[in-house]
Structure 1
Amino acid sequence: MSTQQPTDAEPNVETDADAESESESFTGTGLPRVEDHRILTGEAEYIHDVTPESCLHMALVRSMHAHAEIVDIDTSEAEDHPECELVLTAEDVKEQYNPMPTGIPEVETDDGVEPLEEWSLAGDVARFVGEPVAAVFATNRYVAEDAADLIDVEYDTKEAVADGMAAREDEVVVHESVGTNVIDGERIEFGDPETTFEEADHVVEGEYSWGRISGVPLETAGVVATYDDETDSFDIDCNIQLHTLVDDTIYETLGYDADDVRVNVPADVGGSYGTKIAIHRYCCLAAMASKELDRPIKFVEDRIENLQGGDMHCSDREYRMRMAVDDDGTMCGLDVWFVDDFGAFPRYPVNQVLKPLSVVTNSYAIDDVVYEYELALTNKTSQTAYRGFGVDPHIYALEMIVDEAAREVGMDPTEFRRRNLIEPDQMPYTLPSKNIYDSGDYPATLERIQEIIDDERDGGLLDPEVVGAKREEGKYRGVQPSVIIEPGVSGSDWTDRQRSDREELEGRSREEVAELPEHLRAELRADGTVRASLATDSSGQGHQTLVSQLLADELEILPSDIEVDYLDSVDAPTEYGSAASRMAVMLSGATVGVAERLLENAEELAADHWGVSSDGVQYRDGSVERVDGDDSLSLADLADIDADRDERLTQVSYNYDHPATDHEEFDEAFRRKFPVYPTAAFGANAPIVEVDVETGEVDILKFYTVRDCGTMLNPMIVEGQAHGGIAQGVGAALLEEFGYEDDGQPQAITLFDYLLPSIENVPEIEMEHTVTPSPYTETGAKGVGEGGMIDAPASIATSINAALDPLEIDEPADRIPVAPDHLRKKVRDADQ
């Protein structure tokens, strides 16, 4: 890996060296992550390590059929097992508890409005392979599994539908009470697309597929639930993501108030990327059994459960794209239509079909746009969120139609892109969908990546002699540079658009918009150190490091004097949490705010102690000094003085509002519940690929990228996020897919079937950075958590197209993943 900084000659760019020359600080440096020591030394504690005394263990009986009536469940033999403590079925659950919340709780039908319910255990009908139909609780997991095997379930199998496009025909209906598989959809027009497409010189069309993929984190879902009979409340330790936002999926299912269900997530979670947002089923079942048995209950998914029925798959889309283009290479209009296959139930992330509106035209200036989607149900495990949250397939399909449009008008694809890029003097740039790009120089970034590629054409990987020789061997090399945007720092208000009366949104006032701030607490301790408490959970992003860096700078102390911990769902207010490339911006804003409040209070406390006015004291280098003398009070002194006060001045909290909240240019997007993402990180990618036309295998020889996320608060963390995201993007583009047979049987239920990227296929990554700070955020930082996964698949796919362009194959990379058999078929069809 190589990281380089740009030259001073580049326009509108502030380099890291410039920033460091202005002031020295911990923020902006590659401070090693404070989390790493405990992880590398084995001191980190995960949910898997938590096993309370007298704990029982849960095992699940899962449906082997994609679609079947459950005729009977005979639990007698399991209940007779001497170490089996309890068996739960849907009948037991429905007697005392509620269905689990869904993303679309009811559907309008010809006969009225029908509820769309999902229960913790399937009752009358099993709707996907792996859906739990019974839960067994025993002294250990081995016994629980043995007892589960004794349960006899009688099924009457039904025809299944496992394809989103076929599901639209409603020949097989997943939920008969609803009567249709298409439970939501919308057509949104911006500008005048009808006229644009009628008058354009060319209208280019393309169809593209994005297969099911997901994050497959090292740590699977886990929960330990404990019921307290005296308080009639629950303590639930689990690794759910967004524990203060989605805890309603637990307490509403249990039928309890939020304050009676304490959800605690440990400081260390072995990855999520969104995939652990929907583990509430396990939390609820464990809690139900704990209440019944008055014992702690533990459950941890095994890998097959995770892959087959863990409710952790993501976007599964079929696209039909159209682009209106003029002869001079101007992109005039864009028409996006897609079907998203959500599986058997619409879960929390139904709004990921809307998030692409935040980058609807990517880096291109296009005024007239149609955006239309249909949300279909099939007999597959339910979708959840995954890094990129639906933007990655949109960017892929858009970049593919850009390639096709360039060929249609006879232009070089890179020049075609350059001609249509948003210019730096247009920043901040308002998209047709009313989101705003904050800052950036896209043409300069494309120019820089092109310079790098040009160097490879002179004696490098793309030298004409080398490329020609490789073609003689049946190996075709190519690259296609592009600039791709990563939307950052989501607001929360737009995420229930599907559950809103959309006709009323036109008249909605800005005052009706309510955003969730980022909450942070800090206190001075007796020894003069500082403890900060996060209201969000983490899954490896380095939140503790970030807060300690920023707080150290603001308080003028060392990061080692700051301890950062986490609040549970009862102690913390409801907030959006760790998602949507949000936390670097939100946490930095909250940290600056809480530090300012703590400093003000420290000066007030010292002034009161000395009996002087606030003008008579000043905070400097970790202490408060008297302006007119030599007296000073350390942080430990201030904590001691404050210890006996009723209202502690050394304990403060701060709520940092969403960066777009006070900017009127975002008003229309807020009012109409369009996605509001006020930061636009971006990158220009140029992966050099080699395609073996005999085998269809793709080798990425080197992945060049120039990236910009505004102010880099910790460059090491930024690069780690980018490298990890690109690695996931490589997996998405070439390897990973949760495929299904026509009858709904899953094809990838082990890691022998679901192929993950490794050191053998993640290429060398050459990375440079530019810095264009955001005008909307406290520190100039932009969201960076979903980059790589958003941009790498599109860049790899278009580079494959470029490599095979001499063979005149029609869009060889028209599906993700671009598997070898798919490319071989494309080559054979072209030969014929």
Structure 2
Amino acid sequence: MSRADAGADTGSASGEKTKRESFTGTSVKRVEDHRILTGQAEYIHDITPEGCLHMALLRTTHPHAHIESVDTSKAEDHPDCALVLTGEDLVEHYNPMPCGLEGFEEWSLATDKVRFVGEPVAAVVATDRYVAEDIVDLIRVEYDVLEPVVDSIEACDDEIVIHESVGTNVPDGECLEFGDPEGAFEDAAHVVEREYSWGRISGVPLETAGVVATYDPDHDEFDVDCNIQLHTLVDDTIYETLGYPPEKVRVNVPADIGGSFGTKIAIHRYCSLASMASQHLDGTPVKFVEDRVENLQGGDMHCTDRKYRVKLALDDDGTVRGLDTWFVDDFGAFPRYPVNQALKPLSVVSGAYDIRDVRYDYDLVLTNKTSQTAYRGFGVPPHLYALEMAMDEAARELDIDPTALRHKNLVQPDQMPYTIASHNVYDSGDYPEALDHIQDIVDEKEVCEGGLLDPAVVEAKREEGKYRGVSYTLLIEPGVSGSDWTDRQRSDRDALKVRDRDEVAELPEHLRAEVRDDGTIQAWLAADSSGQGHQTIVAQLLADELEILPSDIDTGYLDSVTAPTVYGSAASRMAVMLSGAAKGLGEKLKGNLRQLGAQEWGIDMDDVVYRDGGVERADGSDRLTLADLADIDGGISDPKTRVSYDYQHPVTELPEFDEALRNKFPVYPTAAFAANAPIVEVDTQTGQVEILKFYSLRDCGTQLNPDIVEGQAQGGLAQGIGAALLEEFGYDESGQPQAVTFFDYLLPSVKNIPPLELHHTETPSPFTATGAKGTGEGGMIDGPAAIASSINAALEPLGIVADEIPATPDRLRRKVREAQE
């Protein structure tokens, strides 16, 4: 059905266009939700081919040890055992897994040494998972136990080296200077220097990692059904491990994968092992799904674990002249792909502040812990947290109101687009107005009689030992990452200084579609989804381009062989990239359809117009619907009703980003932002923090679907609350993980998610096709810093700063005791 058939105002018979209703920008219901809510969605857990066998893994309980021997004889004698694989088998037939840095060799099963608790040592394939787990217990491994490296600062001393062949626990690091930071600190009236700690967390998706792999011996190729994220970008981690070309390893990802948030980018170990097992079993399908303990303990899905030192150079009036950050990033046992999360904070290096002289220094450190991978925000949340803590402490030292200090240093609207010191560009926004607006809302609703911040109530609560406070922060969410910069750490950095702009190679976003016989549209995405609503967004965007209804558009997903390599659904990219791809695809398809109409009528193409899901003669004398055009096009070897389009990354046409692109600095052309005001209450008797209400003003440019934007914000803030107050993968001094169940790894729930009052403004981006900005990582990026800053505001009378994340009750209670001594 065309939009005209549905009653929309679509134009006159003379061909003069009038204003059309747009689906983009409206809260079209997510097409994904019906199958999910009715139980029709198919996950990897649901896929079990006929004759499928099941794999289980033997994981080490030692954080650091040489493997002396592996005895699999009793396991192989078990009547239900189909296969046992060890590291020795892999070395004989396959390759080590690709690593984030050169010089490392990591096998899917440990070979000579184990380096973290939970590292797989052997794989067993049996008739079902329960039997496979029992058989795993029959394998005997002899270890020579070594002293573990647990503390990231001590690891820098290299007294015990985890990888002898590399020779150091600090395989990567870089000190970058922009402007004149040395001069800024020399001339500063005040220098504030502090240290902060961000604990190891992760996304913990509802569905754990899973794979079903089948080897085809007739064609010597693999089919790998799995829930990996970025399957066309990181499929090399599978096919290179197997030792096959990409066209021989077909990676399929279902439409629904039960969440990822970046954590499933690095599940290639399981995909490779299941594929190897199937090959050894002559093509029998092999399935593996993590259990929750495996996921938390050794699932290759932990994320940022940092210790910061931050210095600010300030004038007497609070103007920030210089910023100097140094951090140690604990990557665990291997510098697993992607390592560039140590660099992404450069995209927002000075936050929302106008600071021109900056030093950015980091050390990537290895310890005997589970390896890091990506998680929502990808290294930005701890950076903004540390910066905002330093701003709070600078305000105290200079005796300036923290909000006034922030306001004084904000980038001004007349500076937009604003090139930050590290050469990324903020596209648009009025930061001072946003900060004022959220403060006005809280003042009106809460700093009043009966409000949460009623001065009388605050004083009475303080008498009970409960301290209330709020802080007003504005934080940036960088969006729509480029791809070329992501291998900076594997590049010759000296050569980058003379690199030419023409050498930059960005990955596009791919979209294809065809007109079906009934006139509806089938579209395909090259990028996989992690629940963001891509099928809905594509339907909205294409419906507007083709002037039909979203319900007439179905969207599927391409496998890694059929699809070209794209960056995919990460780094808050897809809303912007799909906007451009849908616009380009729609224009290309409409041009083809006009050409078909011109050929059918024997007239010039200029005399054919596209309108309302069909083509018409310009004089209005005849019309062909999409179904008519599909019929005309049927049987043609190069059909005009089937098109594909590659949308190039927007920075490729923007000279503002040339300096960043040439130097492989992080490129993120959209800057969504949030002005936050969480009201907290800290019980000084217990250290417990309660968020009474969370106010937030959010701006992601043009909202393509406000309901989806709202859902992303609420979910992101829930994860931000977890990061700020609850979640942490702790390790004891012996290298044993302390959070391997949900009794220890605490997630936010309805019990501790406060009322969220979210407001939205729209400052369209001048850099994108629809004015949209990336918004998939907000909340997790801006929530923790905002909450910690409000804790600082509440505990300011005691001189306490939340210098450790998560701000757990024991940590805050200890600080209160120290302050009261």
Could you tell me the TM-score, scaled by structure 1's length?
A: 0.96
Structure 2 counterpart SS, 1:197: helix
- Deviation track 1:281-313 (CA, whole Å, cap 9, x = no partner) reads 000000001011020000000000000000000
Show the counterpart of 2:645: 654
Structure 2 counterpart SS, 1:655: strand
Q: Per-residue deviation at 1:155? A: 1.0
Are 1:457 and 2:447 counterparts?
A: yes
Q: 1:211 aligns with which of 199, 204, 217?
A: 199
Distance in structure 1 (CA, Å) of the matches to 2:674 and 2:756: 13
Q: Per-residue deviation at 1:23? A: 5.3
Q: Per-residue deviation at 1:165? A: 0.9
Q: Per-residue deviation at 1:629? A: 4.3
Q: 1:509 aligns with which of 500, 505, 511?
A: 500
- 2:271 maps to a residue whose letter is C
- 2:314 maps to a residue whose letter is V
**What pairs up with 1:51-90 in 2 under 5 angstroms?**
51-90=48-87
Show the counterpart of 1:722: 713
Show the counterpart of 1:257: 245
Show the counterpart of 2:794: 803
Structure 2 counterpart SS, 1:660: helix
- Deviation track 1:483-505 (CA, whole Å, cap 9, x = no partner) reads 10000000000000000110110
Are 1:31 and 2:22 counterparts?
A: no
Are 1:230 and 2:218 counterparts?
A: yes
Q: Per-residue deviation at 1:194? A: 0.5
Show the counterpart of 1:338: 327
Q: Any stretches of 5+ residues in structure 1 without a counterpart?
A: 1-20, 107-115
- 1:413 maps to a residue whose letter is P
Show the counterpart of 2:39: 42
Q: Per-residue deviation at 1:479? A: 0.5
- 1:259 maps to a residue whose letter is E
Structure 1 counterpart SS, 2:459: helix
Q: 2:672 aligns with which of 681, 700, 704?
A: 681
Distance in structure 1 (CA, Å) of the matches to 2:468 and 2:60: 46
Q: Per-residue deviation at 1:628? A: 2.7
Q: 2:149 aligns with which of 161, 172, 175?
A: 161
Q: Per-residue deviation at 1:24? A: 2.4
Show the counterpart of 2:816: 827
Q: 1:267 aligns with which of 255, 261, 278?
A: 255
Q: Per-residue deviation at 1:432? A: 0.5
Q: 1:368 aligns with which of 349, 354, 357?
A: 357
Over aligned residue pairs, what C-alpha RMSD do you find? Answer: 0.8
Show the counterpart of 2:433: 444
- Deviation track 1:610-665 (CA, whole Å, cap 9, x = no partner) reads 00001211111111111234311010000010012221100000000111111111
Show the counterpart of 2:658: 667
- 2:551 maps to a residue whose letter is S
Structure 2 counterpart SS, 1:572: coil
Show the counterpart of 1:311: 300
Show the counterpart of 1:433: 422
Are 1:585 and 2:576 counterparts?
A: yes
Are 1:620 and 2:617 counterparts?
A: no
Show the counterpart of 2:509: 518
- Deviation track 1:536-593 (CA, whole Å, cap 9, x = no partner) reads 0001000000000011111111111100000000000001000000000001110111
Show the counterpart of 2:393: 404
- 1:293 maps to a residue whose letter is L
Show the counterpart of 2:12: none
Show the counterpart of 2:95: 98
Farther-moved stretch of structure 1 (643-652 vs 241-250):
643-652
- 1:761 maps to a residue whose letter is N
- 1:30 maps to a residue whose letter is S
Show the counterpart of 1:482: 473
- Deviation track 1:48-67 (CA, whole Å, cap 9, x = no partner) reads 00000111100000000000
- 1:790 maps to a residue whose letter is I
Are 1:302 and 2:291 counterparts?
A: yes
- 2:448 maps to a residue whose letter is D
Q: 2:165 aligns with which of 177, 183, 186?
A: 177
Distance in structure 1 (CA, Å) of the matches to 2:351 and 2:316: 21
Structure 1 counterpart SS, 2:774: coil
Show the counterpart of 1:109: none
Structure 2 counterpart SS, 1:182: coil
Distance in structure 2 (CA, Å) of the matches to 1:163 and 1:544: 44
- 1:36 maps to a residue whose letter is D
Show the counterpart of 1:126: 114
Structure 2 counterpart SS, 1:759: coil
Are 1:747 and 2:738 counterparts?
A: yes
Show the counterpart of 2:700: 709
- Deviation track 1:65-106 (CA, whole Å, cap 9, x = no partner) reads 000111111100000000101100000000010000000022
Structure 2 counterpart SS, 1:450: helix
Show the counterpart of 1:550: 541
Distance in structure 2 (CA, Å) of the matches to 1:436 and 1:628: 48
Show the counterpart of 2:6: none
Structure 1 counterpart SS, 2:577: helix
- 2:144 maps to a residue whose letter is D
- 1:454 maps to a residue whose letter is D
Distance in structure 1 (CA, Å) of the matches to 2:798 and 2:255: 52
Structure 2 counterpart SS, 1:321: strand
Show the counterpart of 1:10: none
Structure 2 counterpart SS, 1:39: helix
**What pairs up with 1:597-636 in 2 under 5 angstroms?**
597-636=588-627
- Deviation track 1:369-426 (CA, whole Å, cap 9, x = no partner) reads 0000000000001000000000000000000001111112111000000011000000
Structure 2 counterpart SS, 1:276: helix
- Deviation track 1:266-287 (CA, whole Å, cap 9, x = no partner) reads 0011000000000000000000
Distance in structure 1 (CA, Å) of the matches to 2:235 and 2:501: 28
Q: Per-residue deviation at 1:329? A: 1.0
Distance in structure 2 (CA, Å) of the matches to 1:218 and 1:562: 29
Distance in structure 2 (CA, Å) of the matches to 1:22 and 1:480: 44
Q: 1:198 aligns with which of 180, 183, 186?
A: 186
- 1:142 maps to a residue whose letter is Y
- 1:378 maps to a residue whose letter is T
Show the counterpart of 1:4: none
Distance in structure 1 (CA, Å) of the matches to 2:167 and 2:260: 34
Same amino acid, percent of matched pairs:
72
Distance in structure 2 (CA, Å) of the matches to 1:774 and 1:156: 58
Are 1:772 and 2:763 counterparts?
A: yes
Q: Per-residue deviation at 1:765? A: 0.4
- 1:516 maps to a residue whose letter is L
Q: Per-residue deviation at 1:808? A: 2.3
Distance in structure 2 (CA, Å) of the matches to 1:678 and 1:179: 39
Q: Any stretches of 5+ residues in structure 2 without a counterpart?
A: 1-17
Show the counterpart of 1:14: none
Structure 1 stretches of 4+ with a deviation exceeding 4 A read none
Show the counterpart of 1:17: none
Structure 1 counterpart SS, 2:770: coil
Show the counterpart of 2:9: none
- 1:655 maps to a residue whose letter is D
